[in-house]
Amino acid sequence: MPKRTATANGAEPVEQHAARDANAVQDGVNICGIVGAFHRHLMALSRLGHDTDELINHPISLAFVSKLNSLCRMNLDREMAALGAVDRIEKGESVEYEVIPL
């Protein structure tokens, strides 16, 4: 299958604003604010015509996901523990989880 590419248009104000915020959140610690900004920019990029594959791979998405991974101290063990806990919560069980301070 041939390699597919897409273009992020730096002249497009929506993409410029998203890039500015993606850079700004790198110093942020407010997970609600970061996720809210990420969602807002994903919706705006979608309205510009970026499809799902393009959004998943867009540099803006990767920058926000990188920040969320860092903020949550994500590694494979934490991810697997979280997914197991989510299954238990869905079944109505209470779970205890590690809180790593910032």
Q: Could you tell me where the DSSP H helices lie in 1-102? A: 13-24, 31-47, 52-57, 59-71, 76-90
Mean pLDDT of all residues in 14-20: 96
pTM: 0.90
Count other C-beta atoms under 10 Å from residue 18's C-beta. 26
- pLDDT value of residue 19: 96
Buried b (16+ CB within 10 A) or exposed e, 44-76: bbeeeebeeebbeebebbebbeebeeeeeeeee
pLDDT > 90? residue 51: yes
| Mean pLDDT taken over the chain | 96
Task: Please tell me the number of Cα atoms within 13 Å of 27 on its side-chain side.
Answer: 4
- pLDDT value of residue 1: 83
Mean pLDDT of all residues in 82-95: 98
